[in-house]
Amino acid sequence: MTPARTRIVRAPRGAERTAKSWGAEAAKRMLMNNLDPEVAEHPEDLVVYGGTGKAARSWEAFDAIVRTLDELEPDETLLVQSGKPVGVFRTHEWAPRVLIANSNLVGDWATWPEFRRLEQLGLTMYGQMTAGSWIYIGTQGILQGTYETFAAVARSLDPSTGSGTGEGSGTGKGTGTGKGTGTGKGTGTGKGTGTGKDTGSGKGTGSGSLAGTLTLTGGAGGMGGAQPLAVTLNEGAVLVVDVDESRLARRVEHGYLDEYTQNLDDAVARVMAAKDAGEPLSVGVVGNAADVFPELLRRQHAGEVAVDIVTDQTSAHDPLAYLPSEIAFADWKAEAARDPEGFTVKARASMARHVGAMVGFQDAGAAVFDYGNSIRREAELGGCERAFAFPGFVPAYIRPLFAEGRGPFRWVALSGDPEDIAKTDRAVAELFPDDAPLRRWLEKAGQTVHFEGLPARICWLGYKERHLAGLKFNEMVASGELAGPIVIGRDHLDSGSVASPYRETEAMADGSDAIADWPLLNALLNTASGAAWVSIHHGGGVGIGRSIHAGQVTVADGTALAAEKLERVLTNDPGTGVMRHVDAGYERAAEVARERGLNVPMMTPRP
């Protein structure tokens, strides 16, 4: 086995395969793509994103997975237990080639200390969402959702575009310790409290812009790194704080960040000049958000800076992945390993100051929201009594889309040819000619998005839409228009595939925030529908003890069998999102179910 430090992993390209089916070949290539140095945060440690989200438990396990996928028969299924291949069984050609379970623990044992004990024994790993399910595509993976969220913020701040948020704020508190990385998205205002009901589709019908506004956020890792580009695509100025200079440098190199500096005064001067000129600009500053946010709040009160929007995407989900103010960056890993419990206490105290400043910005009139990294709960554990004064982004902006089964639809060109993505971009735009926001996104993405690893694209599509794109891609592979098969997947952050009371299912209308049956049903249905690989994870996005979620991936290889599988999976998967929101009492979901023929046996009849 090659030593980890010298090992470079890149997925094979082209239309030739070494595995015995495209389902197995696609799983192998996407596992390898997750660890491509262009994609992964720390590939030498098998860490893909989110501080500790891994693709495989060990290099030995990685090698065994790759070897087994190459040997796997078209009617066999590989089982992977938290990053380790544990069995191969004969199933049938409609069954998934891989079934994955990551980080799952029994309730009373679902805590960070217990998880870390088991991890140190080599018995589990943290799979995040798309790290351990082999469908991470780099920062682009959450860029469009971030872009759309910031667009919603822009509309909410522009009186001419109408108003009305998705839901309100408020959430249950829950217990346990946190983890996960979230999806690094945009910002939001959403100042209300309570759970509220579905109020329509977003924040009005205008086309608001963030020109003339300044956004403050923290975190430029695999998730948070999407935020600066999402803001500038919406014509705003943004200041991004990160303790790790290498992350900021990487975002500049890949086109997600315009520039960065180690001097806060310089950074503030640059973004304020851009704000005053109404010009888009993203500036990173090296610093600890627990120190920088309070300092900027002081300057806000003194009239030295004018921040309009505040969010955060630091790795607050895991206290060991958040650097306390009093610990030097160079000592981070050593201190976390030496005294995890003491480090956690210090990290939570720093998060309390960080979130306290965010609350202060809200009190001063800024639009403030949590972007799904569990920082409010961690800050509350650190002593911030008003940690939940501002809402999460899903109830504030995204829930109406989830009610329609809309969510992150992503695809990857196994050929490695960027032209395959350009062709599929055009095909999706032609399939949905009346969806102006979708067409606008595809145009902007084609112009600005830097591919990391295998060429890929993401866009948000809904129930009775995703399968149309999948079938079209399959036709293009069959005709030879594309140079190779297309992998189709999604984030676990989707309308029917996750239970996460601090993020996706925060403030559900019926109070069902913590009901975890839904993602399990989603995984079971995708397995029965013909997905190429299916995964069930615990703790992604927000931390151990705080979420259960599922993923699925399909492959368009140009065959008739693939077309049958694509139609079923890509219809049924988002259909579970509509079903889940019908059950929770969202009228828009019931309308979609009736309009598009979804059978929900106990749905209330049309009024």
**What are the Cα distances from residue 201, in Å, to 180, 408, 491?**
28, 17, 21
70: exposed, middle or buried (Cβ count in 10 Å: 0-12, 13-18, 19+): middle
DSSP code, position 606: P
Nearest to 222 by CA among 180, 281, 171, 163: 180
Q: What is the CA radius of gyration of the chain?
A: 22
**What are the Cα distances from residue 112, in Å, to 314, 341, 488, 536, 539?**
18, 10, 32, 19, 10
Q: Would you state the structure tokens that stand for residue 596, as one six-digit string?
A: 């598009």
DSSP code string of 16-37: --SSSSHHHHHHHHHHHHHTST
Q: Would you state the structure tokens that stand for residue 29, as one six-digit string?
A: 């290539």
Q: Would you state the structure tokens that stand for residue 185, as one six-digit string?
A: 């998205």
Q: How far apart are CA 159 and CA 154, in angstroms?
A: 10
Q: How far apart are CA 188 and CA 487, in angstroms?
A: 32
Catalytic residue (choose from 66, 403, 459, 555): 459
Q: Is 384 designated active site?
A: no
Q: How far apart are CA 251 and CA 228, in angstroms?
A: 9
User: From start to end of 307-453, where are the E strands?
Assistant: 309-310, 367-368, 407-413
Give the list of residues 6+ apart from residue 40 with CB closer than 8 angstroms, or none.
Answer: 34, 46, 47, 48, 49, 55
Give the list of residues 6+ apart from residue 283 with CB closer than 8 angstroms, or none.
Answer: 237, 238, 239, 240, 257, 258, 259, 260, 261, 267, 270, 271
Nearest to 444 by CA among 237, 152, 140: 140
Number of neighbouring beta carbons within 10 Å of residue 106:
7
Q: What is the three-state SS of 519-571? A: HHHHHHHHHHHCCCEEEEEECCCCCCCCCEEEEEEEEECCCHHHHHHHHHHHH
Residue 413 near residue 455 (C-beta atoms within 8 A): yes
| Catalytic (active-site) positions | 459
